[in-house]
Amino acid sequence: MKISRDTVRRVAELARLEFKEEELEKFTEQLGNILEHIDELNELDTSQVEPTFHVLNISTPIREDVMKPWLSPDEALENAPHREDDFFSVPKVIED
């Protein structure tokens, strides 16, 4: 698949990239080579290949969604350096 300089220029513009003319020529050639390689891969017969999401046969373990008791405010804040009522108290970081 061939790619034109105008297409490369347009993609660069969308990506907010600026290229000199010699860079534009270089990237046009390189992107053309990449697209040609992808075209070669599209010619392979993959009808007998099972779709794969991961190279290893792994699955994500799923746990039961069980409600558990929460900590009380006193338990949650017992190691807090500063507390105000049932909340952590932190220094102000935004100035008015």
pLDDT of 21? 92
- In angstroms, the CA 48 to CA 84 distance is 65
Q: Is residue 70 part of a domain?
A: no
pLDDT of 9? 94
Work out how many domains the chain is built from and give that number.
1
Q: Is residue 85 part of a domain?
A: no
Find the domain containing 36 and state its range: 5-42
pLDDT of 29? 94
pLDDT of 53? 74
Q: Is residue 58 part of a domain?
A: no
Q: Is residue 75 part of a domain?
A: no
Q: Where are the alpha helices (DSSP H) in the chain?
A: 5-14, 21-42, 73-76
Q: Is residue 62 part of a domain?
A: no
- In angstroms, the CA 78 to CA 26 distance is 63
- The whole model's pTM is what? 0.47
User: Which residues, in sequence order, are bridge partners of residue 52?
Assistant: none
Q: Counting every residue, how long is the chain?
A: 96
Amino acid letter at 5?
Answer: R
pLDDT of 54? 74
Q: Give the residues of the chain that fall short of pLDDT 70.
A: none
Q: Is residue 73 part of a domain?
A: no
Kind of pairing, strands 83-84 and 87-88?
antiparallel
- In angstroms, the CA 66 to CA 62 distance is 12
